[in-house]
Structure 1
Amino acid sequence: MPLSPLIPPLCALLLALLSWQAATDGPVRSLDERFGHWLAESSLPSPAAQFFADLGDAAVALPVLVLALAYAALRGRRARAPRWWLPPLAAALAMAAVPALVVPLKTWIGRPGPPRMAGGAHEGFFPSGHAATAAVAYGAALLLLLPYARERARTRRPTPFIAYGLLNVAVGVGLVRQGYHWPLDVLGAWCLAGLVLWCLHRALLTARRPGPVRPRPRASRAPGPPGP
């Protein structure tokens, strides 16, 4: 999956702009909250929205990633790949980076949540931890498992990424429909996840790069000493 080097600065710039708008009581935030109210009161089926919103819960997303970590480690070790442990470790660190980044941002920006979340124990709602968890957990699992896909599956490369994108859109819509987050919270989480997954992708490329091949010593063709 070729990723442009422009992705990190674009994600960082968009995250900064969204953070600014979420922290200030401006027209963008007002529009965002109006759209959030409209979606929360829409006719979208609540059970389906709740199902997809729950996919961003750590209790659901983390076991999926753990299974992907175990599978990648097992396959790499069986194949005796050099640094077979590095891709699972990099994916685990990427997942650990989510709360380390989301929690300080939530506390710093301190955006109030939707009316349903009023009176909760949350320090802030931007960016969405559930949206970031889903994006990074399922994205890391996809990056880990894709190299082990069969050749027939590899010829349809866009398919798993399209499915991954649609899944995250469904999670984001579910979070807003159920009144857990505003739309800007979800967008900010996706920008943050884009940065984390780009770093993970680069780390996986480095880990899977074959090392230098050392030539085997050749037997000398020089004639041996004459016999007695």
Structure 2
Amino acid sequence: MPLPAPIANLGRRIELVPLLVLLLTGGALWAFFGLAAEMIEGDLHAFDERLLLTLRNPDDPGDPIGGRRLAVAMRDLTALGGVTVLTVISLSVLIYLLLDGRRASALFLAVAILGGQALSHLTKLGFSRPRPDLVPHGVEVATASFPSGHSLMATVTYLTLAVMLSRSTPKRRIRAFFILTAALIAVLVGASRVFLGVHWPSDVLAGWSLGAAWALGVWLVARWLGRRGRIEADTASDA
């Protein structure tokens, strides 16, 4: 039995992919605010302590599992979420977009990443959670703990870069490669922060959640601007 004309027309106007991304964005924000509320009430303390100590020698909390080589690898991974590495990579992609004649996309990317950086600083100032004191820190830290700035900015930067790069290719497998690589790097950066004892696990979960919400929002805005000619259009359909 065919659907009534108004319902059929509505179904054609509602596009599945943007709707799904919008739902994911809302879910990521819900997760962040839920974690923030639980953190303020102190309900995450037992979970954080248990997971943080799981990564340490039971007889010596100052000794991380895996030995020296794993500790060195984790310090290398954590640098991927640092300001220096993120700046170099972001500038490289910006230059690529400019050389490719995508000036509007380059400007949009710069604003998106700087906005994510501002979001990271503001949320840290707003919550001012102390850093973990259960174990020695594997690297130097100077800011508040919640949310994890490295996790947030790695998620914001790498996923936003992946989104903007994926708009320049119609190949699904290349787009999937960009997104999955960005997500993997963000996960590794966040895991390294817990391993090195400089963040509670809930800090990292909050950073991933808020960073993902920002990056997904950037995708929606980029799509909207592209369809209105404000930035260069996507080279492929949502499929």
TM-score of Structure 1 vs Structure 2, range by shorter chain: 0.7 to 0.9
**Which consecutive unaligned segments of at least 5 residues does structure 2 have?**
1-15, 57-63, 230-239
Count of aligned residue pairs for this structure pair = 200
Is residue 89 of structure 2 the alignment partner of residue 64 of structure 1? yes
**1:192 corresponds to which residue?**
210
Counterpart CA distance in 2 for 1:121 and 1:74 is: 37
Is residue 159 of structure 2 the alignment partner of residue 139 of structure 1? yes
**1:16 corresponds to which residue?**
33
Q: Describe how 1:51-200 pairs up with structure 2 within 5 A.
A: 51-75=76-100, 77=101, 84-115=102-133, 116=136, 122=142, 124-149=144-169, 154-200=172-218
Q: Which amino acid aligns with 1:125?
A: S
- How many Å apart are 1:121 and its aligned residue? 7.4
Structure 2 residue matching 1:6: 3-state secondary structure: helix
Structure 1 residue matching 2:167: 3-state secondary structure: helix
Q: Which amino acid aligns with 2:30?
A: L
Q: Which amino acid aligns with 1:62?
A: T
- How many Å apart are 1:210 and its aligned residue? 6.4
**1:47 corresponds to which residue?**
72
Aligned-residue Cα RMSD (Å) equals 2.4
Counterpart CA distance in 1 for 2:180 and 2:199 is: 24
Structure 1 residue matching 2:42: 3-state secondary structure: coil
1:39 to 1:157, Cα distance in 2 relative to 1, 3 A? same
The 10-residue stretch of structure 1 (38-47 or 137-146) with the greater mean CA deviation from structure 2:
38-47
**TM-score relative to the length of structure 2:** 0.74
**Which consecutive unaligned segments of at least 5 residues does structure 1 have?**
78-83, 212-228
Q: Matched residues, percent identical?
A: 25
- How many Å apart are 1:201 and its aligned residue? 0.7
Counterpart CA distance in 2 for 1:16 and 1:90 is: 27
1:122 to 1:24, Cα distance in 2 relative to 1, 3 A? farther
Q: Which amino acid aligns with 2:24?
A: I
1:121 to 1:170, Cα distance in 2 relative to 1, 3 A? closer
Counterpart CA distance in 1 for 2:131 and 2:164 is: 34
Question: Rg: which structure is higher?
Answer: 1
1:121 to 1:160, Cα distance in 2 relative to 1, 3 A? closer
| 1:170-214 Cα deviation digits (max 9, x unpaired) | 111111111121111111111111221122112221333265xxx
- How many Å apart are 1:156 and its aligned residue? 5.0
Counterpart CA distance in 2 for 1:168 and 1:148 is: 22
Structure 2 residue matching 1:126: 3-state secondary structure: coil
CA contact (8 A) 1:69 1:144 kept: no
CA contact (8 A) 2:77 2:192 kept: yes
| 1:72-101 Cα deviation digits (max 9, x unpaired) | 1221x2xxxxxx433222221121122322
- How many Å apart are 1:10 and its aligned residue? 1.0
